[in-house]
Structures are given as structure tokens and as C-alpha cells.
């Protein structure tokens, strides 16, 4: 299959390109601005390119809608037979329940997540109106593989352990639980969704693997690296959801299972492959 990949040079994109090649697909990396550049023909699209910063999205919501929604619409107008969209668990907002299925109501609480929810809707309605086979992958916390984004929990904790960063901000008592998944496990989910999506249908899939608290992450970093992690304690965020776990039953029914997403494995991979190692 000839697969167009937007965001192919990004953190997740590099792994997706690798997994597509391993599965025998021909990869076409998208070049240019998705709002204006020509869209080459392809048998399928994996759409990863987006503006991704939650805090930044509050300052410039129109830019987030312009890139994340308008860019998706342009790709859809090219009418690819198969389309897989990278979305976020942020579309669920701050739910009261701890384990989230794909049927949970979407209640985004920031412009970034809202723009992703809008892109999901455009994809779902496009699939329903015609022959496009479509899937949305709602990513929880992607980690490992030498990530360079210090805003992510595991990446920052490893950076502090290496002495590259001064400290790790921990809000509250550090017991809030989030769901982590290795970037290569996430990439395999994209390839599988592309290969199994059905014409005229849109399916959403949660992508997570290992629930862990911030305290668990810090303990794992100390255990794996043998180094201390300096912590800067902050008051808990008001209204923060104490626990968010991904129900991945739908994705596993396709044959997916995480291979590299144990907590120690995530830390070890990030430590060994990260840009911060000293």
C-alpha cells in the first residue's frame, strides 16, 4: 500500500514510518504545510501532523483550529481510500470515571483537544458519507524511544536524573495515575488500524498500555538509572482527575498488544536512547 504520512519526521512519525516499512508498505512522507502544499496521491493516509501544545493552544486557539482542523479537511478532500487520524485522550476532558472506553462522552477542556475532536468529527462524517475507510487513534501518554519533549513526564524525569534539567515538578502527592505507551507500540497500532479499517466506517481506538503514577515513574527512574531525581513540590491542580486509564479492548480485538510498554522498559529505553544521557 502507498501510504502518505504527515508529520513523518516527528517523534511518533519516525516510528510509524519504520513500522510501515517493516510491514511492506511504501511510505510517502508529506512535505510542506498541510494547509497549502500539494497532496500526492496515495492508497492511505496516516495523519500525525498537528499543533500539540495544550497551554499554547489557550493563547492562540485560532491557529490550532487552522492547522489541526483545516489541515485535516484538505487531506480528506483528496479522498484517500483509507485515513487514520492521530488524536488525543484529551478529548475526554476530565472524566469522573477511571477507565475510559471509546464510548465515553468527549468533553475537551482546551482548544488543542477541541480541535482534535472537531477533526475526529470531520473524519467520521466523511466516512459515513462515502467509501472512505477511517480510524481515529486516541493517544494517551506516548513515551520512550529517545523522546525530546521535556514536557512529558518520563522524558523530564530522565532528564533530571541525567543532570540536564534542574528538577521535576510534582503536583500534589504524586499519586495521580496516567496511562503510558511506548512510541513503537503506538506506531504498530497505526499500521494495524490502517490495514483493518473498513470502507464507509469510522472507528475510534484508545492507545495506552501501562497505568502508573508520577511517584511510580520517579521510583522506576531511580531503579533503572541508579540516580536520584530532584523534585519540586507544587500544590495539586484543582479538579485534576486522579486516575486516567485506557480501555484498549477494541484495539486488542484487532490483534494489537503492547510489546515494549512496561514501566521499567519505557524508562530504560528513554534513558539509553535519549538526548540527555551523560
* Catalytic residue (choose from 11, 64, 65, 112): 112
Query: What is d(CA 262, CA 268) in angstroms, rounded to the nearest whole number?
Result: 10
Grid look-up 500525525 returns: 48
Looking from the CA of 259 toward its CB, the CA atoms found within 13 Å total: 9
Rg (CA), the chain: 18
Grid cell listed for 248: 484498549
Q: Answer yes or no: are the C-beta atoms of 225 and 268 closer than 8 Å.
A: no
Residue 171 appears among annotated catalytic residues: no
Query: What is d(CA 37, CA 99) in angstroms, rounded to the nearest whole number?
Result: 40
Which residues have C-beta within 8 Å of that of residue 221, sequence separation ≥ 6?
154, 157, 158, 161, 227, 229, 267, 271
Query: What is d(CA 89, CA 92) in angstroms, rounded to the nearest whole number?
Result: 6
219: helix, strand or coil: helix
187: helix, strand or coil: helix
* Residues tagged active-site: 112
Amino acid at each position: 500500500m502507498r501510504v502518505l504520512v504527515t508529520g513523518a519526521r516527528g517523534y511518533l512519525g519516525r516510528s510509524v514510518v519504520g513500522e510501515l516499512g517493516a510491514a511492506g508498505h511504501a511510505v510517502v512522507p508529506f512535505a510542506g504545510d498541510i494547509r497549502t502544499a500539494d497532496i500526492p496521491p496515495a492508497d492511505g493516509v496516516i495523519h500525525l501532523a498537528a499543533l500539540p501544545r495544550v497551554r499554547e493552544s489557550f493563547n492562540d486557539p485560532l491557529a490550532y483550529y487552522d492547522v489541526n482542523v483545516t489541515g485535516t479537511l484538505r487531506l480528506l478532500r483528496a479522498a484517500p481510500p483509507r485515513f487514520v487520524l492521530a488524536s488525543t485522550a484529551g478529548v475526554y476532558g476530565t472524566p469522573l470515571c477511571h477507565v475510559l472506553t471509546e464510548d465515553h462522552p468527549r468533553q475537551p477542556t482546551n482548544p488543542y483537544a477541541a480541535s482534535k475532536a472537531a477533526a475526529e468529527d470531520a473524519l467520521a462524517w466523511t466516512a459515513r458519507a462515502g467509501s472512505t475507510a477511517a480510524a481515529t487513534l486516541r493517544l494517551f501518554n506516548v513515551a520512550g524511544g529517545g523522546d525530546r519533549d521535556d514536557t512529558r513526564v518520563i522524558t523530564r524525569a530522565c532528564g533530571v536524573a541525567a543532570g540536564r534539567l534542574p528538577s521535576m515538578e510534582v503536583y500534589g502527592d504524586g499519586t495521580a495515575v496516567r496511562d503510558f505507551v511506548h512510541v513503537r507500540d503506538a506506531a504498530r497500532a497505526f499500521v494495524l488500524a490502517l490495514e483493518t479499517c473498513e470502507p464507509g466506517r469510522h472507528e475510534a481506538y484508545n492507545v495506552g498500555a501501562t497505568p502508573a503514577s508520577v511517584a511510580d515513574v520517579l521510583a522506576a527512574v531511580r531503579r533503572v538509572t541508579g540516580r536520584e531525581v530532584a523534585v519540586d513540590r507544587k500544590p495539586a491542580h484543582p479538579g485534576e482527575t486522579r486516575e486516567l486509564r485506557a480501555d484498549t479492548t477494541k484495539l486488542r480485538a484487532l490483534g494489537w498488544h503492547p510489546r515494549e510498554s512496561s514501566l521499567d522498559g519505557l524508562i530504560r529505553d528513554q534513558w539509553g536512547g535519549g538526548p540527555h544521557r551523560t
